[in-house]
Copies of this chain bind each other. A is one copy, B any other.
Amino acid sequence: MSKRKRFMLPETEIPTQWYNITAEMKNKPLPMINPQTKEELKAEDLFPLFAEELSRQEVNQTDTWIDIPDEVRDKYKIYRPTPLVRATELEKALDTPAHIYFKNESVSPVGSHKLNSALPQAYYNKVDGTTNITTETGAGQWGTALAFAAKAFGLELAVYMVKISYEQKPYRRSLMQTWGAQVIASPSMSTKAGRKIITDHPNYQGSLGTAISEAIELAMQTENCKYALGSVLNHVSLHQTIIGLEAEKQMEMADEYPDIVIGCFGGGSNFSGISFPFMRHNFTGEKKTRFVAAEPASCPKLTKGEFKYDFGDETGYTPLIPMFTLGHKFTPANIHAGGLRYHGAGSIVSQLLKDGYIEAVDIKQLDSFNAGVLFARTEGIVPAPESNHAIAAAINEALKAKEEGKKKVILFNLSGHGFVDMSAYDQFLAGDLTNHVVSDEDISKFLTEV
């Protein structure tokens, strides 16, 4: 009865360095390319857009470990180390021989893992003397995280929030405003990119791609202003490795090692965070852990996309990024997991998928909510719709283990809670949600436009 439930690390065990997986990859991720000159991007090329240290981290393929500044580590103390939890009640409900663990990133004050990168991004901008930053947000999790981080380091923040989320998730907007940020529904009339898409498609509900275009444009036009991105980029994945680094120590406390590591997948930040620190033991051949990225069936870039150079945003303001993509003009269905509605995958994850280190599965919306409700009723926590994809994949693996009669150790990342997504659960419980699966035609159509 009294199985140990939560594995907690003391404050002193907050990692002092992030893990830079690119330094240990045999096949390095391809570089980003300037769409005009077709030349490889260097750190300096990114300085107009990002803080200098973030730009350097973005292209750093040599240093395996990167120091976490004391000022950032001090802010991490607000919620880190986060708990590693054994999902004993879920195991019972599934009657599985599998041991299921989850890293609970939902305990951050903003409700998700996004704060792990928001804090260093705000900090490095502050160091550069930047006063204003801009960003985009899909479901609102990144925006809320950066809103608090900006306040914590004394920066002003403007957030372009994907219109459908702005309407579906008013509480996330209120959260950003409570922390002092300015929030604009995207597409908006405040940028050329926004005006163009509103003119072309008056009923357009917005997408991360468009919101990124708007945020970049505003940053470029504003004095002493930089841009910040919450996923996809290498420096974001780098910051998120703090999740897996803690989890590794905590799995040791539990005296186990994961056979399978699972994260939901939008741009790749939480998946990278939980996976990379464990993956380094696969590189050495010491371990054979499987890494499973759980993406929505409505936005299947990993399972059905193509590996090619593509823009990170809808308009084409970003450099060209080597990625698994559905095409930067692809507009995913309005599923509630707004954080997973992105057309491409970061360059590191894309390379690792290509090289066979990562598997991908696609999860239908109804299956994700079924998993989320079972999780809530057993483990107590109502998960974010995004996280439900990881839970569904973990349940599938646990049931497979049951069929095979094998004790597997499964670890997934609970990227966030669902307190501000309850309207989605309402619709699910009322039977009003549907699955959205993308047709092959749709995919080939948008891909040829790349």
Binding site for B on A (CB under 8 A): 1-2, 4-6, 8, 10-11, 70-71, 74, 77-79, 85, 89, 107, 109-111, 148, 151-152, 170-171, 174-175, 177-180, 373, 376-377, 379-382, 417, 419-420, 422-423, 425-426, 429
Contact = CB atoms under 8 A, between A and B. Distances in A.
A58 to B, nearest CB: 27
Contacts of A11: 4-6, 8
A218 B406 CA distance: 48
Given A1-B71, A2-B74, A178-B382, 5 more contacts: A6-B11, A78-B85, A148-B377, A170-B426, A171-B420
Given A377-B151, A377-B179, A380-B152, A78 B5 contact: yes
A104 B281 CA distance: 37
A305 B1 CA distance: 47
Most chain B CB within 10 A, of A4, A178, A425, is at A178
How many protomers of this protein does the assembly include?
A: 2
Contact of A174 (B175, B178, B425): B425
Contact of A10 (B8, B71, B151, B376): B8
A178 B422 contact: yes
A425 B178 contact: yes
Contacts of A109: 379-382
A382 B398 CA distance: 36
A5 B77 contact: yes
B373 A178 contact: yes
Contacts of A111: 419
A423 B111 CA distance: 17
Nearest to A427: B174
A4 to B, nearest CB: 6
A418 to B, nearest CB: 8
16 contacts: A1-B71, A4-B77, A5-B74, A6-B78, A8-B11, A78-B85, A109-B380, A110-B380, A148-B377, A171-B171, A171-B419, A171-B420, A174-B425, A175-B422, A177-B426, A419-B419
A376 B149 CA distance: 11
A177 to B, nearest CB: 6
